[in-house]
Structure 1
Amino acid sequence: MTQQKKQKWKRNLVVMTAITGLGFSTFYTGLSIPVAAVEQPDQPIPKKESVSIVQLVVPNDKAKDKLLELGIDLTHRIEAHDGVYEVDAVVTPTEIAMLKTFGINVKETLITENQWSTRVAERQSTVQLQASLAASEDTLKVLRANHFTNQSGTFLYLEVKSSAGATASTALKATWTENGEEKSATLSRLVDYGEYLYHYLLLPVSAIPSSVKIESNLGGTATSTITEWLGKEPKHPKTDYVTDFVDHYMAPNELYERAENLSKEFPNLVEIIDMPNKTNGYRRLAQATIGGTTNLAVVVSSKAWGHEGGNDVSVEFKNPGTNNAPLKVTVDGTRILVDLATDSSGKATSTAAQVVKALNENASQLVTATTYRGNTGAGVVAPTTNAAILTDGLKAGADVSRDPFTVKAIRIGKHRDGSKQGVLGYAQEHAREWVTPLVTIETAERLLRNYNQDSVTRKLVDNLDIFLVPSVNPDGANYSLNDYNMQRKNMTNHCGPTASDPGYRNNWGVDLNRNHSVGSVFDGYIGGGTSCTGDTYAGPAKNSEPEGRNLVWLADKNPNIKFAMNIHSYGGYFMWSPGAYDSKRTTLPRPSAGEEAFYWAASDNILNDIQDHRGTVILPSRTGPIPDVLYSAAGNSADYLWYEKGIYAWNFEVGADLWNKDTKRWQAVGFQPAFAEGHEEAMEFANGLIGLMKVAYNSAKDHQPPSSKATPGNGKYTGPVDVKIETSEPATIYYTLDGSRPTFQSTKIKLSGTREFAETLKIEKTTTINYFTVDAAGNIEKNFNPLGNGKNYNSVTLTIK
C-alpha cells in the first residue's frame, strides 16, 4: 500500500470512528477517541447514518475474532457451518464498507429503520386506543350465564362483554356461591382476527349457583341470574386456565403502572419492591454543534438538563460589523451572543479554540463549550445565519418522566417473608428487546388471575417467593421506544468532552449485561468493551451502573432466591454459565458434572413448556453454556448470580427463527417483530418462565437424598481401571483418592470435556475412593454430614495387581 493510500485509509477510519463510535484502538494504533487536542485534517461534520440489522457472512475464525475485536453491535444470533459463520449485526453503511475490507460481507438485510418506525406507529396506535378506552366508563354486559350437566359433570358457563375489552389489560372476575362457599375465577378474553368478542368462563361446579357477580379491574360491575343451557355444550376450550394479557409493546411507565394495579387488586399475593438505586433518568443536556467542519466547529452543552432549562438556551456567532473588534461574549437571560473578533478589514478572525475559551469564561453559568472531538480548533469560526437553539433531542412526550427512575420488582407469593424458595425473572437489560418485558407481565397476570381456579398455579404461588423485574433498563427502553430503536445500553454518558457532542447521542451508555463483577473485561475476559461509545461498553468500572447494582441488591436482600432467568432477545437460545472466556478461550470455572446435569434436566422441562404454546423448539445447538452456543459475554449478570450467589441462573433469548416453507430457510424475527409475532413469543416464553417456577417448586419439595453406584466397584484388577460414578438424579460428587474423609472442599467430578458427560476416574494403583453426592436441592446421600465426623460416606477400594 502506498503512503498516500495509507493516509487516505487512516482518514477514512477516523471518519468511521466519529460516526459509529467503535473502539478501534485494539487493532489500529491511535484510532481510539482522542484524549487531548490534536491536529487533524479539516473535514465535514459527519452526517447521521441510518442503521439496519443485516446478516453478515464471516468467512473464517480469523474474521470472526476480528468482528468481536472491532466491537460491532451483534445480536444474539450466530450460526456456523463448514467453518463459515452467519451473524446478525446492527450496522451503518460505513461499518458495512469497513467490514468488507476484512472479508466480512452482507448476505441479507433483515430489518431497516423504516420497519422499526412501523413498529413504533403500531405500538402508538394501541396506546391511543387504550387511552380512549380508559377515558370512558367501563361497562359490562352479561351475554350468557348458564349451567349445564353432561356425562362428565355440572359446569358453569359465562360470556361477558366489556366496553374496554379491546385491551388485553382488561380483566374480568366472576364471583358466585357454591354450597355456601364463595368461589371466584378470572374469565378468558376471546379475540378473533383482531376483533374483541367477549370474555368467557367454563369450569366445573359442585353445585349450581343461583347468580353470579362480574367485576372488572377497571371498576365495572354486573350481576346476572344463572339459567340452564338447553343441553348443548358451548364450543370453547375446556379449560379454566387464563392467558393472553398483553396486546402491545409496553413502555416502562405502562409496565410499572400495570404492576401497581396488580398489587392493589391482589394485596394478599403481591407487593411492589422499590429498588434503592435510581437510574440516571430519561434526560440529556441540551446541545448544539455550531460549524460545518471539524476544526472550526464549536460544541456547546447546557449546564442544566434540557427539560430543566437547557432547551431554552440559544447561541449566536455574530460579526460585530466593525474593524479590529475584540472577541466578546454577552449573556442576556438564556440568550448567548458571541461577537467574533475582526481584523482591520472587518473580517472575523476568532478561531474555534478562542470561542470555546471565551464561552467557558463568560457564559459558564449556562453552558460549557469544547472543540469538536478533541480537535485543536484552529479553524476560523464563521458567523451563524440564525441563533443555534440548544436541544436535548429527546422525542418522548410529557407522559415520559425525565427524572431518575425507580426500578421496581413485582413480588408474588402467599408467603413473602423469605421462608419459601425464591425465583427471579428479570428482563430488558438491553433496551431494544421489546418483547422481553411482556414475558414478565404476562407471567405475573397468569399467576394472579389463575390462583383461584388452577391448582398448579396455586401450588406455585403458595410455595414460592417470586420476583419479577419487567424492565431493568427503563431509561434505555424509553430511548428505544421514542428516539432510537436500536438502543442497547442505558442512557448514562461516561464519555469526556471529546466524545460528548450530539453526533454521538446514540452511542452513549453502558451495556448493563457487561457491567457486573464476575468475568469482567476489567479482568481480561472477552466480550465487553472499554470504549465509552462502543456497543458493549462495560462502563468505567465494575458495577458502576445503578441498574446493575439494583440486581445485586435484590439478590443480597433475598438469599432465598435459588433460581433466576435473565430474559433477552432474539435468536431462540437457552443458556447458562459460564458466560465468558479470556483471550486463550479459558472460560470461567465450569459447573461440576452434577450441576451441569441439573441445568440440562431442568432445561428439558422448561423447553417443553415453551414448545407447548405453538410448537417452537429451542434447538439443541442453541442450548447449553453461553460460550458453547453463542460467544463470550464478559461481565454478564447471570455469571454474577451463579458464581457469587450460588443461584441456578439461565438466559432466555426469545424469538427463535421461523422456518419459511417457501424459501426453505430459517428466518430471523428481530428485536422488535410485528406485534403479532411478539405476542406469540411473549406467550411461549411466559410458559417457559412458569416452567422454571415448576422446577423451583419441585426442588423446594425435594427431600429425597440421591443414591449412587461406582462401576466397577470393590475388587482386584490386573491393570488400570476407569471408574464411573452414576447417580440416581443430577448430583455433584465430592471425592478423595488418598483415603481421607471427603468434605465440601474435596475435588468434584467434572465434565470430561465441553458438552460431554461426566469424567471417569482413571485408577492406576491400589486406591480407595471416598465420596458423597449432593443434589441440587441440597440433599446429601445417606444424610452424610461433611462438616461433622461421621463415616457414612461411600467408599470403594480397587486393588491393582
Structure 2
Amino acid sequence: MTKEKKQKWKRNLLVMTTVTGLGFSTFYPGLSIPAAAVEQPDQPLPAEESVSIVQLVVPNDNAKDKLLELGIDLTHRIEEHDGVYEVDAVVTPSEIAMLKTFGINVKETLITENQWNARVEERQSAVQLQASLATSEDTLKVLRANHFTNQSGTFLYLEVKSSSGATASTALKATWTENGEEKSATLSRKVDYGEYLYHYLLLPVSAAPLSVKIESNLGGSATSSVTEWLGQEPKHPKTDYVTDFVDHYMAPNELYERAEKLAKEFPNLVDIIEMPNKTNGYRRLAQAAIGSTTNTTVVVSSKAWGHEGGNDVSVEFRNPGTSNAPLKVTVDGKKILVDLATDSSGKATSTAKQVVDALNAQAGQLVTATTYRGNAGTGVVAPTTVKLTDGLKAPADVSRDPFTVKAIRIGKHRDGSKPGVLGYAQEHAREWVTPLVTIETAERLLRNYAHDSGTRKLVDNLDIFLVPTVNPDGANFSFNDYNMQRKNMTNHCDPTASDPNYRNNWGVDLNRNHSIGSAFDGYIGASTTICTSDTYAGPAENSEPEAKNLVWLADQNPNIKFAMNIHSYGGYFMWSPGAYDANRKTLPRPTAGEEAFYWAVSDIMLNDIQDHRGTVILPSRTGPVPDVLYSAAGNSADYLWYEKGIYAWDFEVGADLWNKDTNRWQAVGFQPTFAEGHEEAMEFSNGLIGMIKVAYNNAKDHQPPSSKATPGNGKYTGPVDVKIDTSEAATVYYTLDGSRPTFQSAKINLSGTREFAETLKIDKTTTINYFSVDAAGNIEKNYNPLGNGKNYNSVTITIK
C-alpha cells in the first residue's frame, strides 16, 4: 500500500466516525434517524445489546470500503502492517456478526461488559476501604526512628505504620529540629505484593535530631525520640522523592475531595479555582418508550429532571371498557391516565400519533410526547402502564445537580507573576486513567516540596494549574451507567433522536467543541449534524460549558505558557496542528524553530515517562496529530496554541504492551485493570512533571540564540541553497529584498511533513537579512525588531 493510499485510508476512517455518525446505534443496530415523520414499516423495537472493545482485522480494500459505509465507534488506536489494518472498535454482538459477513473479523476482544463490571467492583471495593478507614481513628505507630553516620554523611531513618495506611491517599509527614531550624519531609508508603507494610523515610541531615513528630493527613500523630542505629545501613531506596498516591480509579467527587484536602493541608501552596460555567449535571429527563413496535410506540419524556420529580410520573394507557369512547387524558398529580378511543365493538382505536397529540395538549405540564424516531405513528397503541425513569444508576451521593469544575492551582506565588503551566484531563469520560495523572502530580509537588530541592524549585518559580476532570458529568455516567461514554451528557438532539434508547449516544465531544480548526469551518474530524455521533461537535463552536471553562482559564491566566491535554489510550505524544480539511490541508504548521522546540523538549518528557518502567513512546506515535494519528477538528490544544500562543501537547496514556508469548503488541484499553492503570498514571505523571521542568527551564533561559547562514557571503556561479542553522531551537525571520527584518517578515518553515527546516533557493544576487528568536523569547544579539537598530545578521549571495 502506497503512502498516499495509507493517508487516504486514515482520512476515510476519520470521516467514517465523524461524518456518517452512528449508523449502528449502541442499542438499536440498523436504525437511523428519519428526517421527518413518514409512513414506515412496523418493526419490533430492537433489544438492548452489550458492548465490548475489540480489535478488528480489515483484510483488503473491499472490506475497507464496506467498513467506511458503517458508523462503527473507533478508539484512538490504529495499526497497519503488511497492508492489513488492525482497528480497535466499540461494537455490539450484532455489529460483529454483520462485519464478519464482509470479511472483517475480530482478532481479539480487549474488554467486555463483564470486565467493565469487574473494574467497577474493584474500584468500589477500594472506595469502601477508603471510606471505612477515613471514618475510623487514624493511629500511628513509630516502628523505627534512627540516625546513623557513614562515610557519606549523617542520615535520618524512619519507619511508621498507620492504621489507615492501606489506602494510598494516606500521607505521613515528619517534622524535626535540625541545628535549631525546623525541617519536614513526607514519608514514602511501602507496599509488598498488595500488603501495606509501613511508611518510611531515609534522608540526609546536617545533624542528628533528638526527636521527630509524625503527622497524618487524616489527623493522627505520634512523637518519638531518635536513637542511633548501630547496625548496617537499612536496605531501602536511597531517594527521598515520594510517589504513589493513587490506589483506585477515582470518580469526580473523589477527585475534588482530594483537591480540597490538599488545599486545606497546604494553604500556602494551593488554591482551588472554581470555574464559572457549571456543567449540565449528571441528570436526565425521566422517559419511557411505551410500545413494542416502531409504529405503535409513544415516547414520553418528563418536563422535570428525573431526580426533581420526573421519576415519579406514571402513564397508563387503558381501554375504558365502553364502545365509541373518545380519546381522553386525565392528570392526577403525577399520574397520567389515557383512556383510549374505542369503536362500536369496544376495541381500542387510538393510534400512536393521536395519543402523542392528546398527551401534549392535555398533559403538557408534566410531559412531552413524540412518536418513535419520527415514525408516522399510524399503529394502534396497546393498553399498558409504565413509570417514567431517568435510567441513571449512580447512588444518591452522586449529585445530579450542575457540577462546578475546579482547577488545583499550585505554587508559592499564585498571582500571575510566575510562568504558568496547565495540565487537564478527562475531556473524554471513558478515559479513567487520565485524572489519576493530575492527582498523582499534585500530590508529588506538594508532598516533596519540604525536602526535595528539585520540587521546591518548580513550585517556587511556576504557577501550576491542574484540572483533574474536564468532563465530570460524562465521567459519572461512564463509572455508573455506560463505561464507553466519550462525550458529556448534554442532549442536543431533536425529539426524533431523544428516546431513551439513544441515552448512550447523547452528548458533545468536548475535544471537538473548540473554535480553531473546527468542523464548522470545514475541518475533518467531527460531526456538526449527527447529534448521536461519538465525535459530535455540538450545535456551535464553544457551545459547552466544559469547553468554555478551559477558554476562561486561559483568558484569566495569560501567564500560562505550556499545557498538556491528557487522554488515553495508545501511547501517543502529539502537538499542533491537530486538524486538516477535506484536502488534507492542515492548520498552519509551526515554524521550523517551533517544531524543533516541540521535538527537543518532548525528548525530556518521553525520557521521564520511560524512567518509571521502561515504557517507550514510539517515534511513529510522536509528532503533530495528523502525522501520527488523524485529524481532530476543534480540539482544545489547537485552541491553546493558535489562539493563546501556548505550547500545547497531547498525551495518549496507555502505550501498547509487548506480549512475549504472542510476539505482538497488545492494547491496554480505556479501562485496564487498576494494576495497569496505576502504572500508566505513575509514568505519565513523570511525563507531566517533565513538562513542568521544561517550563521552568524555559523561564530561566535568558541566553539569546545565534544563527549562521551556509553558504555565507560570496560569489557563486549558479543557484545556491542557503541553510540557516541556529544554536538552539529558534524561529528565523528573514527578508530577501534588503529591508530590515521584523516580526512581520517571512519565517523559515519546515521543508515538508516530518522533515527539517527549509533552505532558501537563491538564483540571483540577493542580500539575506535575518535574526532568530528562541522559545523563551530571547532575540539574537538583543536585536529589537520594533526599533531602528541594524544589529541583525546579513549575508550577500552574489550570482555571476
Check whether the contact 2:580–2:626 (CA below 8 A) recurs between aligned residues.
Answer: yes
Check whether the contact 2:29–2:95 (CA below 8 A) recurs between aligned residues.
Answer: no
Work out whether 1:372 is the aligned partner of 2:372. Answer: yes
Structure-1 separation of matches of 2:244 and 2:188: 8
Check whether the contact 2:718–2:799 (CA below 8 A) recurs between aligned residues.
Answer: yes
1:267-416 equivalent positions in 2, closer than 5 A: 267-384=267-384, 387-416=385-414
Q: Which residue of 2 aligns with 1:446?
A: 444
> 1:60, CA displacement in angstroms?
5.8
Tell me the secondary structure at the aligned position of residue 19 of structure 1: coil
The aligned amino acid for 2:399 is S
Work out whether 1:169 is the aligned partner of 2:169. Answer: yes
Q: Which residue of 2 aligns with 1:632?
A: 631
> 1:20, CA displacement in angstroms?
3.9
1:33-432 equivalent positions in 2, closer than 5 A: 33-59=33-59, 70-99=70-99, 104-384=104-384, 387-432=385-430
Structure-1 separation of matches of 2:68 and 2:127: 39
Structure-2 separation of matches of 1:662 and 1:731: 46
State the Cα deviation string for residues 84-123 of structure 1 (Å, max 9, x = none). 3221111223333554576544322221111111100100
Check whether the contact 1:68–1:527 (CA below 8 A) recurs between aligned residues.
Answer: no
State the Cα deviation string for residues 187-206 of structure 1 (Å, max 9, x = none). 00001111111101110111
Q: Which residue of 1 aligns with 2:667?
A: 668
Q: Which residue of 2 aligns with 1:786?
A: 785
> 1:280, CA displacement in angstroms?
0.2
Indicate how the Cα distance of structure 1 residues 61 and 408 shifts in structure 2: closer, same or farther if over 3 A, else same. farther
Indicate how the Cα distance of structure 1 residues 623 and 69 shifts in structure 2: closer, same or farther if over 3 A, else same. farther
> 1:498, CA displacement in angstroms?
0.5
The aligned amino acid for 1:760 is T
> 1:365, CA displacement in angstroms?
1.3
Structure-2 separation of matches of 1:716 and 1:600: 36
The aligned amino acid for 1:205 is V
State the Cα deviation string for residues 602-653 of structure 1 (Å, max 9, x = none). 1100000000000000000000000110011111000000110010000000
Indicate how the Cα distance of structure 1 residues 542 and 490 shifts in structure 2: closer, same or farther if over 3 A, else same. same
Work out whether 1:19 is the aligned partner of 2:25. Answer: yes
Q: Which residue of 1 aligns with 2:6?
A: none
Q: Which residue of 2 aligns with 1:4?
A: none
Check whether the contact 1:303–1:366 (CA below 8 A) recurs between aligned residues.
Answer: yes
1:649-668 equivalent positions in 2, closer than 5 A: 649-668=648-667
Structure-2 separation of matches of 1:63 and 1:756: 33
State the Cα deviation string for residues 717-754 of structure 1 (Å, max 9, x = none). 00111111100000001111111111111111111111
Q: Which residue of 1 aligns with 2:455?
A: 457
Tell me the secondary structure at the aligned position of residue 564 of structure 1: strand
Tell me the secondary structure at the aligned position of residue 554 of structure 1: helix
> 1:226, CA displacement in angstroms?
0.7
The aligned amino acid for 1:524 is G
- Residue 500 of structure 1: which of 495, 498, 501 is its match? 498
Q: Which residue of 2 aligns with 1:27?
A: none
- State the aligned residue count: 780
Tell me the secondary structure at the aligned position of residue 639 of structure 2: helix
Structure-1 separation of matches of 2:118 and 2:436: 19
> 1:135, CA displacement in angstroms?
1.3
Structure-2 separation of matches of 1:733 and 1:297: 66
Structure-1 separation of matches of 2:182 and 2:283: 50
Check whether the contact 1:23–1:71 (CA below 8 A) recurs between aligned residues.
Answer: no
> 1:35, CA displacement in angstroms?
3.4
Check whether the contact 2:22–2:73 (CA below 8 A) recurs between aligned residues.
Answer: no
Work out whether 1:710 is the aligned partner of 2:716. Answer: no
1:483-498 equivalent positions in 2, closer than 5 A: 483-498=481-496
> 1:150, CA displacement in angstroms?
1.1
> 1:790, CA displacement in angstroms?
1.0
Work out whether 1:539 is the aligned partner of 2:538. Answer: yes
Work out whether 1:560 is the aligned partner of 2:559. Answer: yes
Indicate how the Cα distance of structure 1 residues 120 and 696 shifts in structure 2: closer, same or farther if over 3 A, else same. same
Indicate how the Cα distance of structure 1 residues 103 and 515 shifts in structure 2: closer, same or farther if over 3 A, else same. farther
Structure-2 separation of matches of 1:440 and 1:72: 31
Indicate how the Cα distance of structure 1 residues 230 and 571 shifts in structure 2: closer, same or farther if over 3 A, else same. same
TM-score, with length taken from structure 1: 0.95
Indicate how the Cα distance of structure 1 residues 624 and 15 shifts in structure 2: closer, same or farther if over 3 A, else same. closer
TM-score, with length taken from structure 2: 0.96
Indicate how the Cα distance of structure 1 residues 772 and 491 shifts in structure 2: closer, same or farther if over 3 A, else same. same
The aligned amino acid for 2:93 is P
State the Cα deviation string for residues 307-327 of structure 1 (Å, max 9, x = none). 011111111110111111111
The aligned amino acid for 1:296 is T
Tell me the secondary structure at the aligned position of residue 25 of structure 2: helix
Question: Mind listing any 5+ residue stretches in structure 2 that lack a counterpart?
Answer: 1-19
Check whether the contact 2:513–2:634 (CA below 8 A) recurs between aligned residues.
Answer: yes
Structure-2 separation of matches of 1:574 and 1:219: 40
Structure-1 separation of matches of 2:23 and 2:674: 35
Check whether the contact 1:71–1:529 (CA below 8 A) recurs between aligned residues.
Answer: no
Structure-2 separation of matches of 1:23 and 1:786: 62
Q: Which residue of 1 aligns with 2:7?
A: none
Question: Mind listing any 5+ residue stretches in structure 1 that lack a counterpart?
Answer: 1-13, 25-30
The aligned amino acid for 1:174 is A
Check whether the contact 2:22–2:532 (CA below 8 A) recurs between aligned residues.
Answer: no
Check whether the contact 1:149–1:231 (CA below 8 A) recurs between aligned residues.
Answer: no
Check whether the contact 2:421–2:563 (CA below 8 A) recurs between aligned residues.
Answer: yes
The aligned amino acid for 2:453 is S
Tell me the secondary structure at the aligned position of residue 235 of structure 1: coil
Identity among equivalent positions (%) equals 88
Check whether the contact 1:58–1:84 (CA below 8 A) recurs between aligned residues.
Answer: yes
Structure-2 separation of matches of 1:400 and 1:752: 53
**Worse-matched range after superposition: 181-190 or 781-790:** 781-790
Structure-2 separation of matches of 1:279 and 1:318: 40
Indicate how the Cα distance of structure 1 residues 744 and 102 shifts in structure 2: closer, same or farther if over 3 A, else same. farther
Q: Which residue of 2 aligns with 1:776?
A: 775
